[in-house]
Structure 1
Amino acid sequence: MTEVVLAVGEPKIRQFQHKKPIAAIAELVWNGLDANATYVKVELERTLTGAVDRIIVSDNGEGISPSQAEESFREYGDTWKSRQTHTSGHQRILHGQNGEGRLYTLALGEQFAWNSVATVDGRNVRTRITGTRNRPTIWNIEDPTETGDSAGTVVTITVPQGKRHRALESSDAPDNLAARLAFYLKAYPGIKVEYDGVILNPENIIQDVVDLRLELPSEYISESPPIVTFVEWKTRTTDRKMLICNAQGIALAEYGEDWNDPVVSFTPYLRWRGFSDMSVEDIHMLPMTHAVLLHAAEQAIRKHASRRRVEISGQVVEQLKTEGLYPYDTTELSPTQVVERQTFDLVVTVARAALPPRGAPRQLSVNLIQAALERDPSDLHSILDRVLSLSPQERAHLGRLIDDTQLSSIISATNTIVDRLNFIGGLRKLLADPQLRRELREVDQLHPMIAKNLWLFGEEWTLARTEVGLTAVLREHLGRLGQDVALEGDLERVARSDGRSGRVDILLYRGIGDERQNERLIVELKRPTVKVGRQELDQVKSYARAIVEDPQYRGVKCKWKFVLATYEYKDSIKRDIRQRDKPPGLADDQEEYGVWVMHWGEILDAAERKLSFFRKQLEYEATDERVTRYLRESYQEFIPDALQQVPAGEENW
């Protein structure tokens, strides 16, 4: 037996322990497909109580030879896949290139074993590799033995008692996995993937496929520009994040939050050949290196999803009118009836699949929904449960709709307020806890979170965009801010010898406006080790003046807001930022620009005060438990490791 040590640090490997179970299963399936397998089978072995205690992924591929085993489990990021674009024999496109797929087993269990048979010099040879979650860089490779068995690989993962993989056990798990493999399975129809007894067939669940063009700057324009392929499903799936894909649509990673739409079940695939050669770290840095592309993709998705909601709702309502079942006269409605009708339209659209198809039961269901809305919307809960066979997802959507409000726009506003209160509480927690503050990295953790929540600096910046043309001017004068300052678009260059992001001050910039008036926001995120004083204040004031007086912007009708955001500032500058008749923090007030210096406590207090009225109306408190759960669910990839560790009893595998 040979013990091999993976040539990379253990902290880097432990990131794979936090991957989602379905994503981990997908990577193991891809490993089989990259070995030219035509059949991959995923089995979930259960205990008498129904809990999964073993996961077995088997394939009929070419297997792992002894030399490949030693290379694959010793090297990180430099495997045979990195030197090829297609599988052996040039049969199919390769999915993986970075040698990371096997590490996804760390998200699934405690013990792992690969039993693989490969043909070497005309003989079939068996190789067995084992490892454990507790020692993620140590792998044992048993001496190869000759066998009469056919080529292929069986991966066995032992799940510890008490751990639940609910995402793997759910009824929509096969559809969620099919969504990740959809383009590959469509391109190679001879391949069969089986999950827990279900043969995956994307065609059975695809409703429609539309390619969305993106509004992008010239740097992305080519013969094969990035596109978003919007795949609408016949059934509702729970995994709805945007998938980052190569040009062929093979999923490489997830991005962002779930597209949790009550009407349209879809998965967006951001496809671009530029993603093909990126590592996990490269893709993790996309919010900084390709923010413009991600923003354009999200805008296109929102626009198309909104259009589809209107179309689907219109079709449902028109069908009810044709059947003579629509209960509203749309010509003369009071304001209350307008609200009621809009809610009715949304409810029947969300529940359209559960409505009886025809006859008296269909009419009764429609009448009961309308009567409940007219008399007491709280009755709708029991009516929907008694009359309609709703899926858990449909029931959850309608439950939130009924409980929170009657209008989808107000539902969205309420969710936004709650998310903001949770984010403020979460950021306070990160900055107040000494351990978390020490672990919090500016480049790839704090910056992405702030970039997604620019409302902290004013509501007007919520929909602001990164300005490509502004970058050159900001970079030209960057030296005025001192050493170790980087533009957010240059953060991929900021790294230490261990590969993790270094600690620098970060310049974040956005713009809004139209042909009449433009506004620009420049935020310098200071490191926690820097206590801002006279030198830093003079630097940012000098930088602001240099920018507005640059020939490119001199005389241009524009209002600039420069914010120096810091953990702490010195008493020596308090008089500069606490001037009579000036808002707190305003250090330089000019016609074209303003320079602000604020510590995070002041920034968060100001944002929280703006939400105080709504918080009282909602009777919502951002408790420590709520904000911690929110950070783990919404910003898992951006929070320190200490906060990612879920205490015993709270884990949800």
Structure 2
Amino acid sequence: MSELIETDAGGPRFIHVDAKPDHLASLARGKPVSALAELVWNALDADADRVRIGVTDNDLGNPVSIEVVDNGLGITFEDAERTFGSLGGSWKREHRVTARSNKKMHGRNGKGRFKAFALGHEVVWDSVYLGNNDTPLHFVISGRSDRLQDFEIGKVRSAPMSRSRGTRVRIDSLPEPFGVLSSDGSANRQLAETFALYLRNYPATEIIYRGERIDPASVQKSHETVRLPAFIAADGSEITAVLDIVEWSFSKKERRICLCDSEGFALHEVEAGVRPGTEFNFTAYIRSDYIAKLNHDNGLALDELDPDLRRLAESARGALRSHFRRRKAEAASELVQQWKDEGVYPFTGDAAGSLETARREVFDICALNVHQYLDSFREGRPKDRQFTLRMLKAALDENPESLKRILSDVLELPKEKQTELADLLQYTTLSSIIEASKMVADRLQFLTGFQELLFRPDTKKSLRERTQLHRMLENETWLFGEEYLLTSSDENLNTVLRKHLAKLRPPEKGTRRRAAPVVRDDGTQAVIDLLLAREVPAYAQTRREFLVVELKRPSQKIDLEVASQIQSYALTVASDERFDVRNTHWTFIAISNEMSPEAARTVRQQGKPYGFFHQEDNLRIGLATWAEVIAASRARLEAFRSRLDYTATTDQGVALLHSKYARYLPESFLPQQVDPSTA
């Protein structure tokens, strides 16, 4: 990015960042602790070995200002103009390590300073650095969230005697209370997660939050490092990685996998997708040069679209499952010895081979859950325990996976959750609960697999709208809203109208309706891809609403010609005299992967709903991309997804499409044979 610098003789300098305001605004958004971490990274990259984070609270205990102070090299006046006047050209790209301490550097994109505005509307950078002849110099940079394109750089003066070299960042006018940053918030624990590997590599570095040093080791229960299997990437290069599994002594809701460079710098996060049980609170860190390369190429944010990164993440998840299975078995070992002493343990002797060892580990985990949550088992007679353990062993031998999941999930429920489940079963059946949960999980898997089908380069080119895409969507109309039901698919418009006209306006008794064709202005008949309908009860007469979806193959971009086509379809319907315009409402929409800039402008007009370029009382015509439709569907499912604590992986989504719609999928999307030697 270029910069424009205006100078007032003898006064401050004003720097203008030549970037679009909405882009800068997107950089200035983020979670409070993530934004705070960016400021700490900036300090560490400036060679600081001590960073102090101070938070000032009001009388109600809510944070009102934040100050981040470091003892680094400070921002020089010359660097300030270059750093604050540009975007994406960070000086850090030219340096891999810090100048004074030779520590690995984190940031390279020159965007971290904007994250400060996610914390407050007013930000001041107060810098002391050494000028010529090691003279301490001092100046101030200030900015506001309502003017992200402009920074003011004050005059350089001699530094006060009380100031040492380094930078102070002060943030005022916080937009909300930020409870996570309060004295009893979880910011200190989240910072420990973020900087765990860095502080392990550089133990002399201090990060102090609200007067207390961030010490990840003090809140860690364990730290294990696992080398993941190497594999060959799509470009022929070898990908190697190491997985660090850190278990914490504090409770945390989110289980994350941090994607890091080889030094442990967290560059991106994905959901862990592993549920080992409520007794395990962990964060996993994948360290790999491949992740650093993706980050350098701005490809990390598209993690689900990179097959090699997906394979790396799935390998890490497999290692996590093995780790926690072993950890649970270790926790059960003392109890197992007690059962052996009582003579109630159903296995005898040592395990013969790895298969038998794994079998016993699964049994021990399930038996431990029974012991923890069933008072009658724990406090009963040894003979009763022996009978229960033998039954458990028999059930595991017959159907191990199902029993393991049922026991580990149901028996791990806290008492209050068990009560809630019992109350719920008074109003519905367990099978209905399972069916509803499975429906949500299936839809999440479908969305993930469908997104992969639409946007993967090879299938995007070969996917056909009528014989493939269209046939799958006939059974997935919930994508367009739960209120609609499919009524017609891939039929001539005249056929559709004949089918529905009897409902819309019944013929008079003793008369026959003339089947007049419905044609467009050019005399051709339109074909409707998907017609969805719903009825809305109203006074005196039922209101009927129809949604017509015009599907385009993923490789065809929606442009003005497509907009004209869908408008032609829609106006044909709206002008037909057989419809009761007061009680019949139509929505026509064309959907594909991409939209031309010209077409996009037509659906972003002032005074019209977003996504629609034509609106009348009974007719709306619009355009949409699949990304928007999928995002809207995910948003509707988010409340259920968060409660289920479930994230569908791409592999699960693709597997669902294979099981339900194999005959409609392009050949390039069908399962490929994998060489076991490379798996």
TM over 0.5: yes
Identify if the C-alpha distance between structure 1 residues 136 and 296 changes in structure 2 by more than 3 Å, giving closer, same or farther.
same
Asked if the contact 1:422–1:627 (Cα under 8 Å) also holds between the matched residues in 2, the reply is: no
* 1:160 and 2:174 correspond: yes
Amino acid corresponding to residue 54 of structure 2 in structure 1: E
Equivalent residue for 1:254, pick from 256, 269, 276: 269
Amino acid corresponding to residue 289 of structure 2 in structure 1: R
CA distance in 2, matches of 1:110, 1:626: 31
Deviations, residues 528-550 of structure 1 (Å, cap 9, x unaligned) = 549989x9xxxxxxxxxxxxxxx
Q: Percent of pairs identical after alignment?
A: 20
* 1:133 and 2:149 correspond: no
CA distance in 1, matches of 2:417, 2:297: 36
What is the CA distance between 1:231 and its match in structure 2?
A: 3.0
Alignment partner, residue 55 of structure 2: 44
What is the CA distance between 1:8 and its match in structure 2?
A: 2.0
Asked if the contact 2:557–2:592 (Cα under 8 Å) also holds between the matched residues in 1, the reply is: no
Identify if the C-alpha distance between structure 1 residues 396 and 124 changes in structure 2 by more than 3 Å, giving closer, same or farther.
farther
Alignment partner, residue 285 of structure 2: 269
Alignment partner, residue 299 of structure 2: 282
What is the CA distance between 1:312 and its match in structure 2?
A: 2.8
Identify if the C-alpha distance between structure 1 residues 397 and 343 changes in structure 2 by more than 3 Å, giving closer, same or farther.
farther
* 1:144 and 2:144 correspond: no
* 1:567 and 2:591 correspond: yes
CA distance in 2, matches of 1:320, 1:628: 36
Alignment partner, residue 210 of structure 1: 225
CA distance in 2, matches of 1:340, 1:37: 51
CA distance in 2, matches of 1:253, 1:232: 19
CA distance in 2, matches of 1:168, 1:150: 28
* 1:184 and 2:195 correspond: no
Identify if the C-alpha distance between structure 1 residues 10 and 255 changes in structure 2 by more than 3 Å, giving closer, same or farther.
farther
CA distance in 2, matches of 1:634, 1:133: 34
Matches within 5 A, 1:399-418: 403=420, 417-418=439-440
Determine helix, strand or coil for the equivalent of 1:211. Answer: strand
Alignment partner, residue 37 of structure 2: 26
CA distance in 2, matches of 1:396, 1:99: 46
Equivalent residue for 2:368, pick from 342, 345, 352: 345
Asked if the contact 1:172–1:238 (Cα under 8 Å) also holds between the matched residues in 2, the reply is: no
Amino acid corresponding to residue 130 of structure 1 in structure 2: S
* 1:244 and 2:259 correspond: yes
Deviations, residues 594-622 of structure 1 (Å, cap 9, x unaligned) = xxxxx999xx99xx9xxxxxxxxxxxx99
Alignment partner, residue 66 of structure 2: 55
Asked if the contact 2:332–2:365 (Cα under 8 Å) also holds between the matched residues in 1, the reply is: no
Deviations, residues 129-165 of structure 1 (Å, cap 9, x unaligned) = 1112222222111112111321011111124364324
Q: Unpaired runs of 5+ in structure 2?
A: 1-11, 348-361, 389-410, 426-431, 466-552, 566-588, 594-623, 649-679
Matches within 5 A, 1:238-637: 238-256=253-271, 261=276, 262-276=278-292, 278-279=295-296, 281-288=298-305, 291-322=306-337, 331=346, 345-346=368-369, 367=379, 403=420, 417-418=439-440, 450-451=448-449, 474=458, 524=554, 527-529=557-559, 567=591, 626=639
Asked if the contact 1:47–1:53 (Cα under 8 Å) also holds between the matched residues in 2, the reply is: yes
Equivalent residue for 2:136, pick from 124, 143, 147: 124
Identify if the C-alpha distance between structure 1 residues 223 and 600 changes in structure 2 by more than 3 Å, giving closer, same or farther.
closer
Asked if the contact 1:242–1:267 (Cα under 8 Å) also holds between the matched residues in 2, the reply is: yes
CA distance in 1, matches of 2:44, 2:100: 13
What is the CA distance between 1:33 and its match in structure 2?
A: 0.8
Alignment partner, residue 377 of structure 1: none
What is the CA distance between 1:397 and its match in structure 2?
A: 7.5
Asked if the contact 1:231–1:267 (Cα under 8 Å) also holds between the matched residues in 2, the reply is: yes
Alignment partner, residue 653 of structure 2: none
Deviations, residues 113-137 of structure 1 (Å, cap 9, x unaligned) = 1111111112111121111222222
CA distance in 2, matches of 1:141, 1:600: 43
Amino acid corresponding to residue 591 of structure 2 in structure 1: Y
Asked if the contact 1:243–1:270 (Cα under 8 Å) also holds between the matched residues in 2, the reply is: yes
Amino acid corresponding to residue 135 of structure 1 in structure 2: R
Identify if the C-alpha distance between structure 1 residues 263 and 364 changes in structure 2 by more than 3 Å, giving closer, same or farther.
same
Determine helix, strand or coil for the equivalent of 2:231. Answer: coil
Asked if the contact 2:196–2:216 (Cα under 8 Å) also holds between the matched residues in 1, the reply is: yes
Identify if the C-alpha distance between structure 1 residues 301 and 273 changes in structure 2 by more than 3 Å, giving closer, same or farther.
closer
Determine helix, strand or coil for the equivalent of 2:307. Answer: helix
CA distance in 2, matches of 1:364, 1:48: 51
Identify if the C-alpha distance between structure 1 residues 634 and 52 changes in structure 2 by more than 3 Å, giving closer, same or farther.
farther
What is the CA distance between 1:95 and its match in structure 2?
A: 1.0
Matches within 5 A, 1:166-177: 166=180, 171-177=185-191
Identify if the C-alpha distance between structure 1 residues 258 and 567 changes in structure 2 by more than 3 Å, giving closer, same or farther.
same
CA distance in 1, matches of 2:326, 2:377: 22
CA distance in 2, matches of 1:134, 1:29: 24
Amino acid corresponding to residue 128 of structure 2 in structure 1: V
CA distance in 1, matches of 2:302, 2:313: 17
CA distance in 2, matches of 1:314, 1:223: 34
Identify if the C-alpha distance between structure 1 residues 186 and 624 changes in structure 2 by more than 3 Å, giving closer, same or farther.
closer
Determine helix, strand or coil for the equivalent of 1:306. Answer: helix
CA distance in 2, matches of 1:15, 1:634: 25
CA distance in 1, matches of 2:115, 2:434: 35
CA distance in 2, matches of 1:279, 1:22: 23
Asked if the contact 1:24–1:104 (Cα under 8 Å) also holds between the matched residues in 2, the reply is: yes
Determine helix, strand or coil for the equivalent of 1:232. Answer: strand
Identify if the C-alpha distance between structure 1 residues 15 and 281 changes in structure 2 by more than 3 Å, giving closer, same or farther.
farther
Runs of 4+, deviation exceeding 6 Å: 324-328, 339-344, 362-365, 394-398, 410-414, 479-482, 530-533, 621-625, 627-630
Equivalent residue for 2:248, pick from 233, 240, 260: 233
What is the CA distance between 1:396 and its match in structure 2?
A: 9.0
Determine helix, strand or coil for the equivalent of 2:82. Answer: helix
Identify if the C-alpha distance between structure 1 residues 85 and 527 changes in structure 2 by more than 3 Å, giving closer, same or farther.
same
Alignment partner, residue 515 of structure 1: none
What is the CA distance between 1:23 and its match in structure 2?
A: 1.6
Alignment partner, residue 2 of structure 1: 13
Identify if the C-alpha distance between structure 1 residues 567 and 194 changes in structure 2 by more than 3 Å, giving closer, same or farther.
same
Determine helix, strand or coil for the equivalent of 2:148. Answer: coil
Identify if the C-alpha distance between structure 1 residues 404 and 325 changes in structure 2 by more than 3 Å, giving closer, same or farther.
farther
With 70-79 and 174-183 compared, the bigger mean Cα shift is at: 174-183
Amino acid corresponding to residue 345 of structure 1 in structure 2: L
Identify if the C-alpha distance between structure 1 residues 299 and 266 changes in structure 2 by more than 3 Å, giving closer, same or farther.
same
Determine helix, strand or coil for the equivalent of 1:203. Answer: helix
Q: TM-score, normalised by structure 1?
A: 0.55
CA distance in 1, matches of 2:186, 2:36: 14
Asked if the contact 1:43–1:56 (Cα under 8 Å) also holds between the matched residues in 2, the reply is: yes
* 1:194 and 2:208 correspond: yes
Amino acid corresponding to residue 132 of structure 1 in structure 2: R
What is the CA distance between 1:64 and its match in structure 2?
A: 0.7
CA distance in 2, matches of 1:212, 1:285: 25
Determine helix, strand or coil for the equivalent of 1:216. Answer: strand
What is the CA distance between 1:106 and its match in structure 2?
A: 2.2
What is the CA distance between 1:179 and its match in structure 2?
A: 2.0
Report the number of matched residues. Answer: 435
Asked if the contact 1:317–1:326 (Cα under 8 Å) also holds between the matched residues in 2, the reply is: no
What is the CA distance between 1:10 and its match in structure 2?
A: 1.7
With 300-309 and 243-252 compared, the bigger mean Cα shift is at: 300-309
Alignment partner, residue 99 of structure 1: 110
